[in-house]
Amino acid sequence: MPDTTIAAALADVRARITAAAKSCGRDPKSITLIAVSKTHDAARAGLAIAAGQRDFGENRVQEAEDKWPGLKAAHPSTLHLIGPLQTNKVRDAVALFDIIHTVDRPRLAEKLGPEMRAQNRRLPCFVQVNTGREEQKAGIDPKDADAFITACCGEWDIPVVGLMCIPPVNEEPALHFAFLREIAKRNGLAQLSMGMSDDFEIAVALGATHIRVGSAIFGTRAKI
Ligand SMILES: *Cc1c(COP(=O)(O)O)cnc(C)c1O
């Protein structure tokens, strides 16, 4: 892609977010666009930064460690972890990331809380809910969500700000977004991380505060 393509794609996505927000009476500023730069190198992420983008998402700790310390030093950026977090990567993740979207199981939460305290970095966290109850997918089962959120905020001392989901492919995302919103509401959580390239306008209509957009900004990814 030529250099201007990422800037143009970003402008297009931002315009679509604004239109989607206005059509349901929301303030577009209440929605954070996370540009998902996974598999794209630092130079391409840098083009998005040059176009004014400040929030970025990565799904692998190692890849983010290779790419982001230099970029962050040059330009203040907010880095979101949106992929599964292995317990042996918790220390590195807390040191590098600013927001974690994938708190998805007790074994992780019981490490994450103490690690954030030890590093004195209390990162805002989202609990990932497996709204489709898919065997192979990360996330807490919806029936366990309330108890897990309570334990995260209580015994593990994790600053939970909201919920995150990835709807099953080939299912109507709106049902999953509405379900996530309902779980968040009854737990008093204000933020919702939901919506990707193919469905972010639907997510905005259902209350998303953080949308995670990769291919609509950076183009299709090489398969990894
Ligand atoms: C890759 C990824 C995205 C972005 O997906 P696109 O369809 O490219 O927008 C969003 N969320 C998560 C958790 C991802 O892993």
DSSP annotation string for 122-133: ---EEEEB-TT-
CA of 158 to the centre of ligand 1 (A): 24
Q: Looking at ligand 1, which atom is closest to the CA of residue 200?
A: 9
CA of 121 to the centre of ligand 1 (A): 26
The single-letter DSSP state of residue 176 is H
**In a domain? residue 89:** yes
**In a domain? residue 35:** yes
Nearby residues of 135 by Cβ (< 8 Å), 6 or more positions away: none
| Element spanning 37, H or E | none
In 8-66, beta strands by DSSP E: 32-36, 55-58
Res 105: pLDDT: 98
Residue nearest to atom 4 of ligand 1 (CA): 214
Q: How many domains does the chain have?
A: 1
Res 221: pLDDT: 81
> What CATH number is given to the structural domain containing 134?
3.20.20.10
**In a domain? residue 194:** yes
CA of 193 to the centre of ligand 1 (A): 11
What's the rounded Cα separation, in Å, for the pair 207 and 26? Answer: 9
What is the reported pTM?
A: 0.96
pLDDT along the chain (224 residues), means of 10: 82 98 98 97 96 97 96 94 98 98 98 98 98 97 98 97 97 98 98 98 98 96 70
For 162, the domain range is: 3-218
Residue nearest to atom 7 of ligand 1 (CA): 197
**In a domain? residue 78:** yes
What SS3 class is residue 198?
coil
Q: Looking at ligand 1, which atom is closest to the CA of residue 215?
A: 8
**In a domain? residue 223:** no
Residue holding tokens 């972010």?
200
Our answer on whether the CB atom of 31 is closer than 6 Å to any ligand 1 atom is no
**In a domain? residue 224:** no
